[in-house]
Structure 1
Amino acid sequence: MTKDFRWFDPTELVFGPGKLNTLHTLEMPGKKALLVISDGKSARANGSLARTEEQLRMAGVEVVLFDRVGPNPEKPVVEAGARLARAQGCDMVVALGGGSVMDAAKVMAAFAVMPGDDLWDYAPGATGRRKPLDIPSLPTIMITTSAGTGSEVDSWGVITNPKTREKVGIGRVRHMFPVYAIVDPELMVTVPPKFTAYQGFDALFHNMEGYISNAANFMGDMIQESAIEKIGAYLERAVKDGSDLEARANVAYANTMGGYSMIITGTTSEHGMEHAMSAYHTALPHGAGLIMISLEYFRYFIQKHVCDERFVRMARALGRRDAEKPEELLDALADLQRACGVDDLKMSDYGITPEELPKFVQNAKTVMAPQFTKDRYPMTDEDCEEIYRRSFR
């Protein structure tokens, strides 16, 4: 573990049940907001859209609605949102939704002020042109309705280019941090059980990957250990009873800590490997893809004995209080997946075939190369493909 770390997160976090109702009391960073939601029905059906619009109006903010963001936000949609913000003269962006909505909104806010009409001018990856996002972004407010990505407190967004099959993080610049993050567990009670599980495991893996990365540090350990314990204790309850507000609040906390974990240590190659899967199969929920490869992924590093004591501590945090061997982390993880009803997920159910696995390897190691540098043991192409193959069903 390195003792050195850098920490910067200027986002004001407003956490707790009912906190959406306080939005109008905050000092608004603009007067006209692009309000970004998903292309589904939930925000309208559960009333959160109407409530947010009313809160913004009470704060004196005019609203322009953009409702086209899908589960894996795509380049053309983000570009369309940025064009709408420009055309309507929006001076701020508000996201109401899960990680995809928040990621899309942050990138829309950054791209809206930049010259040109091609987002990939500012993207990394194999085909991105990597121009700097050197004009301050429109200020943003994130209102998260799910507990998975931690996107409400970080400074980038993961966007998919459907033409090039690249799923990359765009941003990581200071002016893309949200002004406010509203984390209200009451907004999460209507999330269906399977998506509660997918999102909860995404939050778990943000923290687990940071904990075993080669950037692990004092502050990261504090954040990650706390979050892993919360997921181990409360995710099953949140899945089985969405109205359990105590469970929702604890999982929401772990989710936000996962956002902080990504800032201070980052994620490892597990996330890069999943991004390749859902870049080619966009109907695959990110959390589901992570679950599919997780056991074989962590088994690989356990067998390399890169940090045995950390795997033991994670097993204890997930409920195996007497764990003494790193392999017990796999047992604890499998138990939690069974308890949450996600132990039988299959790649083949989303159209993935064994023949595709080699191209996933090349995509992951090219597009998401920085995440592989966080691994404590260098993963070869053959190792990466073997993890996919062992995980395939």
Structure 2
Amino acid sequence: MNPYNFFAPTRVLFGPGKLGELGDQRLPGTKALIVTTAGKSVKANGYLARVEAELDRAGVAHELFDHIEPNPLRKTVNAGARLARERGCDFVLALGGGSVMDGSKGICAAAANPHHAADGSEQPGDIWDFVKGGTAKGLPMPNDPLPLVCVTTTAGTGSEVDAGGIISQEETEEKLRLGEPRLFPRLSVVDPELMLTVPPRLTAYQGFDAMFHGIECYISNLRNPMGDMTCREGIRNAAAALPTCVNDGSNLEARTQLAFANTLGGYAMDASGTTGCHGTEHGMSAHHHRLPHGAGLIMISGAYHRHMIDAHACDERYEDMARLMGATDADVAARGPLAFIDQYERLERACGVDGLAMSDWGITHEELPAIAAKALETNGVLFSHDPVPLTQDDVTAILERSWR
């Protein structure tokens, strides 16, 4: 049995109606910076007003920063950190999906840690001081980040129970990782009622991302018994709930099951780690910033896992995942680890995402080698988790097999 380290200190309020309990909690400050996307959904659906009412009920003042992009940018995170400092906010409340929670973690770090210029003067915080890889400095944080509370409105990233985030910089086409144990949210609300309004296509992108967290952590060379437990339940619940959530989004039971799979995916990453499949997608959306992370993963995961199956990386685990996703023992006996691919492709068809094309997001065949090189350069730690090593030629080949 492999040893493991596991640390997941976030208090979680899980289930339909749990947002209504936020105002009863002991919150980590007296003035919150509420962080959302630049979109209208949290306002139009009344979620922002409900959060503000809960904060008012708790006697907590609040400011709004509604500028986070689908892949949060360095400059936006830094702007949020400046606003938090200027307005005297002593904690951050993330209201949204994975991008909002990732961006909020960056705001928490940069707001509490001013940047010291070469002349010794104190400047507003720069998240690139603490992001790891590429052109970022990867420095330790001298000060504790601001406390974070998350109210998640999607089932995708598991960021409500992990201490990591992804921050992008358009100028250098980098999508890099921020990670520090002090960035675990203090409190997270996972209320599936807030997910009922997510459109079908976004539900699919996010739900597949949640499932991929379990899948990749299950084959990762960091796998361990604690991670295996969360991975298996996450995969099983996601595969069962995804088609219903996509095709009947008002089904609260299915939404709750998918939300549970999503949170389990966050715990899986706390115990283990995703692989070069995630690293490859980060290279794609670093080049093409508007590409949704889940969509990119759907495009390449079939080819990535076929490569691992062809290499006999972990046949028994692929067979086990096939069963978790709905394969019978007879299916596995007949197809072996390829039964996993059969189930994955079935699920793609059931959710209407089997026809996604990189070219629809402007990715050309000619740039695939550059995407592979950038992915390996900036996300090497994820590729180090692969059950068999991937070369740049391997990553390029996976992209080429996936491209259309």
Bin the TM-score by the shorter chain: over 0.9
Alpha-carbon distance in structure 2 between the residues aligned to 1:155 and 1:316 = 31
What is the deviation of 1:133?
1.5
Does 2:303 correspond to 1:292?
no
Tell me the equivalent position of 2:121: none
Does 2:40 correspond to 1:64?
no
What is the deviation of 1:115?
1.6
Tell me the equivalent position of 2:16: 17
Alpha-carbon distance in structure 1 between the residues aligned to 2:264 and 2:64 = 29
**1:319-348 per-position Cα deviation (integer Å, ceiling 9, x unaligned):** 112223001100100000000000000000
**1:278-311 per-position Cα deviation (integer Å, ceiling 9, x unaligned):** 0111111000000000110000000011110000
Query: Counterparts in 2 of 1:164-243, with a 5 A limit?
Result: 164-171=172-179, 173-243=180-250
Alpha-carbon distance in structure 2 between the residues aligned to 1:237 and 1:270 = 26
Q: 2:396 aligns with which of 365, 379, 385?
A: 385
Tell me the equivalent position of 2:47: 48
What is the deviation of 1:124?
1.4
What is the deviation of 1:135?
1.1
Does 2:163 correspond to 1:152?
no
Aligned residue for 1:112, secondary structure, equals: helix
Alpha-carbon distance in structure 1 between the residues aligned to 2:62 and 2:274 = 35
Tell me the equivalent position of 2:131: 123
Contact 2:109–2:127 (8 Å) recurs in 1: no
The amino acid that maps onto 1:362 is: A
Alpha-carbon distance in structure 2 between the residues aligned to 1:291 and 1:174 = 29
Contact 2:134–2:176 (8 Å) recurs in 1: no
Query: Counterparts in 2 of 1:350-389, with a 5 A limit?
Result: 350-389=361-400
Alpha-carbon distance in structure 1 between the residues aligned to 2:278 and 2:325 = 20
**1:186-218 per-position Cα deviation (integer Å, ceiling 9, x unaligned):** 000000000000000000111100000111111
Q: Extract unaligned runs of 5+ from structure 1.
A: none
Contact 1:107–1:156 (8 Å) recurs in 2: no
Residues 321 and 134 of structure 1: is their aligned pair in 2 closer, same or farther, counting only changes over 3 Å?
farther
Does 2:353 correspond to 1:342?
yes
Alpha-carbon distance in structure 1 between the residues aligned to 2:87 and 2:243 = 44
Alpha-carbon distance in structure 2 between the residues aligned to 1:371 and 1:156 = 13
What is the deviation of 1:362?
1.0
Alpha-carbon distance in structure 2 between the residues aligned to 1:65 and 1:58 = 17
Contact 1:71–1:283 (8 Å) recurs in 2: yes
Alpha-carbon distance in structure 2 between the residues aligned to 1:234 and 1:129 = 41
**1:244-267 per-position Cα deviation (integer Å, ceiling 9, x unaligned):** 000000000000011111111010
Alpha-carbon distance in structure 1 between the residues aligned to 2:238 and 2:326 = 10
Does 2:92 correspond to 1:93?
yes
What is the deviation of 1:120?
1.3
What is the deviation of 1:175?
1.4
Alpha-carbon distance in structure 1 between the residues aligned to 2:139 and 2:133 = 12
What is the deviation of 1:119?
2.1
Runs of 4+ in 1 over 6 A off after TM superposition: none
Alpha-carbon distance in structure 2 between the residues aligned to 1:163 and 1:119 = 15
Alpha-carbon distance in structure 2 between the residues aligned to 1:131 and 1:229 = 39
What is the deviation of 1:134?
2.9
**1:160-187 per-position Cα deviation (integer Å, ceiling 9, x unaligned):** 011111101112x221111101000000
Contact 1:137–1:176 (8 Å) recurs in 2: yes
Alpha-carbon distance in structure 2 between the residues aligned to 1:321 and 1:230 = 17
Tell me the equivalent position of 1:317: 324
Contact 1:125–1:166 (8 Å) recurs in 2: no
Alpha-carbon distance in structure 1 between the residues aligned to 2:137 and 2:75 = 16
Q: Extract unaligned runs of 5+ from structure 2.
A: 116-123
The amino acid that maps onto 1:66 is: F
Instruction: Report the TM-score when normalising by structure 1.
Output: 0.98
Q: 1:263 aligns with which of 245, 251, 270?
A: 270
CA RMSD of aligned residues (A): 0.8
Tell me the equivalent position of 2:118: none
Alpha-carbon distance in structure 1 between the residues aligned to 2:239 and 2:169 = 34
Report percent identity of matched pairs.
51
Aligned residue for 2:150, secondary structure, equals: strand
Contact 1:234–1:250 (8 Å) recurs in 2: yes
Contact 2:96–2:154 (8 Å) recurs in 1: yes
Contact 2:196–2:255 (8 Å) recurs in 1: yes
**1:11-52 per-position Cα deviation (integer Å, ceiling 9, x unaligned):** 001100000000001001100000001100000110000000
Instruction: Report the TM-score when normalising by structure 2.
Output: 0.96
The amino acid that maps onto 1:375 is: D
